[in-house]
Structure 1
Amino acid sequence: MKQEEVPQDKGNLSNKNMKELVYATDEKGNYTTALSTGWEPKTIALTNSIDEISERIAIAKEQVKNNEVSPICYFMEVSRMDIGVLASYVGMWQWRVKRHFKPKVFAGLSDTILKKYAESFNISIEELKNFKTK
């Protein structure tokens, strides 16, 4: 894309008077950088992604409230992780992490295991143990 064609659509950054650095070509065809306030397709994709994440967080919160899953599931969603990422952070197999999603299994976890989860979510063990939905 040419420097003068860099999109300046209203985007997520334009509300904060910020600009994104992008690559473009100058009049000689050499690569250079340019500033963009946004690009509509990118803004739509990002908004959809954020909406989907927010929906997954709300579902996880409701499931914790209904005692269907443990707080680990909720904090995993809030931290924008999936089971594979969380398993690598806590150093456990994915099947074991999935097992810890069960409220009865979660209730029996040691503080050593809970500490791994809490550190991964950047919260305290008490916050993890005593998570209450409102």
Structure 2
Amino acid sequence: MKAEQVPQDKSSLSDKELKELCYAVDDKGNYTTALSSGWEPKSVALNGSIQLIQQRVEEAKKLVLVGKKSPIVYFMEKNKMDLSILASYVSLWKWRVKRHTKPKVFKKLSSKTLQKYADVFEISVEELKNFKG
């Protein structure tokens, strides 16, 4: 697309006066960069994704509060992680992290293991252990 055709639609970026860097073609046919305040189809897709993430976080919160899942599930969703990503960050096997999402197993975790999770989630061990929502 030509530099003057780079979309400037309203988006979540334009609300914050931010611009996105895009590649475009200048008058001479050379690739160059141009700034865009947004593109409506991209904004719609992004907003849908953000709403889905918020729903998943709320669902995880409910499961933790009723005792069906450990706080690890909530913080994993809040930080946009899945089991594989979290397992790699805490240097544990995926199956072990999955076990730690069970409240009974979570309650028996060592301080060292809890500290690994707290470090990844950038919270204190106390916040992790005493999740209130």
| Structure 2 residue identity aligned to 1:92 | L
| Aligned ranges 1:23-42 → 2 under 5 Å | 23-42=23-42
Q: Could you tell me how far apart the structure 2 residues matched to 1:46 and 1:100 are? A: 31
- Paired with 1:20 and 1:107, the residues of 2 have a C-alpha distance of 45
Distance in 2, Cα, partners of 1:14 & 1:90: 37
- Match of 2:59, as an amino acid? I
Aligned residues: 133
Q: Which residue of the partner structure matches residue 84 of structure 2?
A: 84
Whichever residue aligns with residue 120 of structure 2, its letter is S
Runs of 4 or more, structure 1, over 6 Å off, are none
TM-score (norm 2): 0.98
Partner of 2:12: helix, strand, or coil?
A: coil
1:111 correspondence with 2:111: yes
TM-score (norm 1): 0.97
Query: In structure 1, what is the equivalent of residue 58 of structure 2?
Result: 58
For 1:21, what is the secondary structure of its paired residue? strand
Identity %: 62
Flag structure 1 segments of 5+ consecutive residues without an equivalent.
none
RMSD: 0.7
Letter in 2 for 1:118: A
* Unmatched tracts of structure 2, length 5 or more: none
Tell me whether 1:21 sits opposite 2:21 in the alignment.
yes
Residue 96 of structure 2 corresponds to which residue in structure 1? Answer: 96
Structure 1 residues 60-114: Cα deviation after superposition (integer angstroms, max 9, x where no partner):
0000011000000000011111111000001111111010000000001010110
What residue identity is the alignment partner of 1:79?
N
